Structure 1
Amino acid sequence: MELYNVLLVDDEADVLFAMKKKIDWEALGFCLAGTAENGQEALEMTEQLHIDVVMTDIKMPYMDGLTLCRKLKENYRNMKVIIYSGFDDFEYAREAVHLEAEEYLLKPISAGDMREVFSRVKKKLDQEYNEYRNLNRLSEYYQKSLPSMQGQLVMGILEGRISGEKARSMLEMYELNLDSPYYMVAAIYGETNSRGNSDDPMQLLPLPLKDMVQDYLKEKMRFFCTVFLDQVYVVFFLENKEEGDKVLYHLDQVCKIGCRVLKAVVTAAVGKVCTMDTIHTSFEESMDAMEYRTILGGGQVLYINDIEPCAKENVVVTEYDFRQLVHAVKVGRRDEISEAIQKLMEGIRRENITPGQYELLFMELLSELVKVGRSYKLSPSQIFGTQEGSWYDLYRTVPVDDLEKWLEEVCTNLRRTLHHERKDSTARLTEQARAYIKEHYQENDLSAESLCRYLNVSPAYFSTIFKKEVGMSFVAYLTNVRLEHAVELLRTTEDKTYIIAAQVGYTEPNYFSYVFKKQYGISPSRYRAAMFEQKP
């Protein structure tokens, strides 16, 4: 049986001991994960432990139970909090309800009270977890979400973000069959004269437009249709290239029906006939064609082959091929780099590439690789190595026959350099954090959030990196730094404990003494006395 983790919080050790022994935690489905003597300590413990339930007293030093409950609910919405108090005060109970505490108990608390409360909490946790895990519910939710997920997958394929084996496996998982000899991609956009009126139902025009497209095409052609942002996208499945004319005819009908039925100006922009390997190109062409809507007017079919008949005939390598290579260099394996280069070279070998085309292609490659290097502040010489002349004259020294070998060497070295830079970056980030803590540990409001603002990184990323590099959390490290300086001040000065507490970042002298004793097993004053006793 899976046990839920409980944290008990009370400033009285006797009460904590009694509550620990009062009930059989495991029999009720709980595991006592730890105890804390105040709200501040409990908050720090919840950052390190996977706590499901916190049971806390209200009256405690440093941070009371109500403040703890508020902070826990802010950071962990699903955590259950049980509050108890020795005061029969309506304001306490009202505040506990306002903070969404699960239960509010009055001392003295009997074993029976605790069993009843934790039984109710367990029932609620079971219900919540079962809702997440319920296979029937998950299956029902999956089936409802499947059309949306299929649409997102197809858009990922069209945009070139998902390809190869990943695309094939996801298509199978999402129960989507896109197999066809040829394809055409169309973007359909509708607009009305009432644009900008938030009360106008035509603001939702893409949805009825999609329904209309599906109703018209469903018995005429095989297709997949989805809505993305303000446009409807249609992927047509063709048995042969000649069916492209049929696509254009049907889209023309769609534009006319949209005008008549939806009272909207409907424009269809279409890319060329393609295969699965180049479907992203047809998608990009449809986007290019749609840009001509403002020049040529809407309410018609804009076919890229009519508008730009020669624009892409000599395209040897697509933007998609460049993206694949860049992705492999940045986060891929070495074999993925080789695969991306091989695909890029296949495009070059298919064409009789002219010197001018090769120069343009090479400059695009250099530009993409320089962009990658620039994000890590690498110079061109660090990317391409040292050579005579300017780096953008490289194409003169790397003929087409040597391009594959040159790319393998440059991209593999760049991948290795980026890996080392990332490793160095995490080390630098950690050192910057250590230095900042060393300089600002005396500030009582120093927190992970303020440090992350200084470092310009997210708290989640920083916490993961810092703990991995240092071996402890930010809170634990800051506490160690403060207490080490406190020990030094106790040894070298005669300042009072409350002054030393303020000097190392603690506004509450009592809390400073509590943390110090917990770390060293003795209070600050006794620690100082013991040091003087040891002096000859």
Structure 2
Amino acid sequence: MLIVDDDTIIRITLRSLIDWNEFGYCIAADAINGQQALDYIRNNHVDLVITDMKMPVMDGVGLLKEINKEQQIPEVLVLSGYDDFNLVRDSFRYGACDYILKEGLTQEALISVLERLDRKNPAEGKGSQAEDHSKNSRSDSVLLAEMAMGKQPVSGKFLSQDYLVIQFEIEDFYKVSVRFGDNYEEALIKPFFDLAAQIPRVASRCILGTLAPSRFLMLYRINDTVQYEENAVSACRQLCNVWKHFMNLTVSGGVSSPGHGENDFLDCFEEAGRQLRLCPLKGKGTLSAPWVKKSVAYEDVKNTGDSYKKLLRGLLLGDDLMVSGEKSRFIGELYRIGLEEGKEMCLRLICALAWEFSENHDDITAIFPEAVNYYEKIGRMEEIRILELWINNYFRWIMDYHTHQSDRKQMDMMSRAKRFILDNYANPELTLKSVAGFVGFNEKYFSTRFTKEEGMTFINYLTQVRIRKARELMETTDLKIYEISQSVGYNNVEHFTRVFKKNWGVSPGNYRK
């Protein structure tokens, strides 16, 4: 198996998430972009590639295109973000076998995909996938989801009248998912669908499909062309209330503009996803639709984020110097465009910041103890100077939050590092570099931080762990000294004896006596 991702944390997570040997795989290598992966594949045998979509030099789609030109074609499992659905669809066109959302990269999700691969007929060719998964043998729910994700061509089977596409997302999914155990299908998805089927107007005119355990889509057939907007939003709110009341799940939704026929379906699906990404401005458990007045537009948020990328980056890094200069530019623009346009620009920037939080596996709502509807909050401001004061305070809240988070993450990093040492002290190859790599820091920084936090160097800490374990073995077992030496990570018994005596004042043999 070959891991391809430019994110160090993702590569480390994939390595340690499951026991790969148990599933018949060994990790051959890592690559940080598609070109590096392709070079490896051309010179080595690879059965499975797990690849990110967005990478420098060559992205995931480019890698898939090139792999298809090779004589030996491995299976390819795609890692995707919620905003990468276009790339995922392209990946299926070029032969990807499945995908996992990065936000959903759990042990259960990975095992589920590997089990599906294990059940797959080895003789099955990539080109026969459409025939084997005949539309006639699929439920409407599965077909809808596979059309959206590009696993199946779009069919006009249930697209003959006007419709809306809605994407739903379970908020804080990886906090609440533990309630459902390993079997999402039975414990989560089935009751999720069963509850929807209890609502007559949903059952009669809607089809619900699953994109991922935390992401769903719904096709809403329009019967009343006059009141469809109100009726669709009302049905979605009823669904979200039912899921909240009976399953304690907070669900947000994004609604598309009307579509008709198969040619509009993918555009509507993408628009629903874009609307869903605007929900952070209203808060969790809300709906976003394109016809709501005074709502920000997805493209405007994207453009504002691009214009103030440096400001967003500075806020995320807690870099006062970077924020200071960019903040002055932003405030100056507020005064130039005036109060009303300035309010909208603040909304667009906050939404872009929420996206940045999500990219960093964080949650912008965690900054405040209570839910905030930014449309209402900013809409009440009646003077430009009040808006300036509020946005200045908002930037400071962000900076303070990340300072706190950074301190917490440093503590988490040390805990993870020490746990890794305790789990791997018996490995003679355990080094400062390998532990630093596991927690995602460079060797020099980790060494300095470890010494500062623990009051001793990494090598002294590792030695203490090994000697303590050796003492326990001497006190509780009849193992020979050379066997104990090997059990705690020392291949050379003479070296072990010297280290033990230096740390404990007596030789291992005398200690045992």
TM-score of the pair, normalised by structure 1: 0.35
Larger Rg: 1
Greater relative contact order (CA < 8 Å, ≥ 6 in sequence): 2
